[in-house]
Amino acid sequence: MTWVQDEGFTADAPFGPQTLPYGVVDGQLAVRVGNQALPLRPIAHEFGALADVVSADSLNPLLAAGCPAWTEVRARLTELTTALSAPRGATLLPIDDAVLPFTVADYVDFYSSKYHAENAGRIFRPKDEPLLPNWLHLPVGYHGRAGTVVVSGTPVVRPNGQRRSKDGPVFGPSQKLDIEAEVGFVCGGPVTSRVSTSAAADHVFGVVLVNDWSARDIQGWEAQPLGPFLGKSFATSISAWVTPLDAFSAARVHTPAHKLLDYLVEDAPWGLDLVLEVDWNGTVVSRPRFADMYYSFAQQLAHMTVNGATVRPGDLFASGTVSGPNRDQLGCFLEMSWGGRDKITLAGGEQRTFLEDDDTVRITATAPGPNGSVVGLAEVAGTVSPALP
């Protein structure tokens, strides 16, 4: 029993006391307790020397404060939210108005599901080996567009662009608008480079869900030889709540064993046993397993910084589309429809290959928490609006 009166604040619910994700509500840093938010500014006096950090209007100062501060604030929040009586000044607010909880610095997207990479290879290059030779040796990725990372709930305007046709390139609304269900990692701590796999967790504050919206027709025409560009950069949606990495202590698993160069070898298991759920207009079409990823976030961060590139607070990197071996574990519609060949049937009989205007996609995820509890990632949702004229 705690002073927090919320039916979602229990160990068997995704946002119970074992989770405590951070967001911004009413212009203040807040922590989610079930289906409500506890703003931290009114109770900042409970945080001693970290009062200024938790009084902020975003997560940025806490990201910059570094790993020891993250642990201290989370421990204090656990005490405060599970106490019998409320701390002085505490109020609970609704969580309806989502805003981006931090300023996205740089954004990198990886491609670290072997199932997804093989499927995409078979669809795009049916005559060739599905994996290119580098894939088994390094986490392939690209730099995305930080300025168009948007919070869950933001409408996604169908992009216009160039695509291939029999008679040469044509311009217009994408006809193959897709999703990519991914897991994103929010960085913090001191600006540094050459982060080892064993130090990676000190530079990753928390985890969000990511929908890397993708216009397959624009992508297919523009992407040779330098990779994704306008087919991806129009919008990337993330959860409004960042779940601390510390909440996943019971969800750690080894990534599949494989031989890698030394700087990518891990001492500790840093895969995460998350199961995602992809809901398309109210029909669950897939449950991808994040534990099946070939590279962990620690390997991705080590690779991203091994050349001397720095990581700084607010950097976001995403896993790549999370797909598993089975038909009901695929993380994008390109794979589910096999390049548009097969129809996907939704509840009510609607059929789809790619997204139509007014379609809504919601991605959620849970992981095992301590003592049989469940840890949630806040949903990332978006509805497609028609292309601009």
| 52's tokens | 């200024």
Shortest gap between Cβ of 300 and Mn ion (angstroms)?
Answer: 13
Measured distance CA(233)–CA(109) in Å, rounded: 11
Residue 377 neighbours by CB distance under 10 Å:
31
Active site residue 254: no
Shortest gap between Cβ of 320 and Mn ion (angstroms)?
Answer: 5
Shortest gap between Cβ of 354 and Mn ion (angstroms)?
Answer: 16
Shortest gap between Cβ of 232 and Mn ion (angstroms)?
Answer: 7
Choice between 180 and 359, CB closer to Mn ion: 180
Choice between 180 and 222, CB closer to Mn ion: 180
Under a CB-based contact definition with an 8 Å cutoff, are residues 44 and 76 in contact? no
Beta strands in 246-338 (DSSP E): 252-253, 271-272, 275-280, 283-286, 310-311, 316-318
Choice between 216 and 362, CB closer to Mn ion: 216
Measured distance CA(40)–CA(246) in Å, rounded: 19
Catalytic residue among 45, 116, 137, 143: 116
**Which residue has the CB atom at the shortest distance from Mn ion?**
212
Choice between 44 and 322, CB closer to Mn ion: 322
Shortest gap between Cβ of 121 and Mn ion (angstroms)?
Answer: 15
Shortest gap between Cβ of 363 and Mn ion (angstroms)?
Answer: 13
Shortest gap between Cβ of 228 and Mn ion (angstroms)?
Answer: 8
Choice between 106 and 212, CB closer to Mn ion: 212
Measured distance CA(213)–CA(278) in Å, rounded: 13
User: Binding residues for Mn ion, per CB under 5 A?
Assistant: 109, 180, 212
Choice between 56 and 208, CB closer to Mn ion: 208
Burial of 112 (0-12, 13-18, 19+ CB in 10 A): buried
Choice between 109 and 202, CB closer to Mn ion: 109
The secondary structure of residue 209, as a DSSP letter, is: E
| Residue type for position 316 | L
Residue that has been written with the tokens 């902020």 in this structure:
56
Measured distance CA(67)–CA(366) in Å, rounded: 24
Which residues make Cβ contacts (< 8 Å) with residue 100, sequence separation at least 6?
24, 149, 150, 151, 238, 240
Half-sphere exposure (Cβ direction) of 126: Cα atoms closer than 13 Å: 3
State the greatest distance between any 2 C-alpha atoms of the chain, in Å, as a whole number. Answer: 71
What is the set of active-site residues?
A: 116
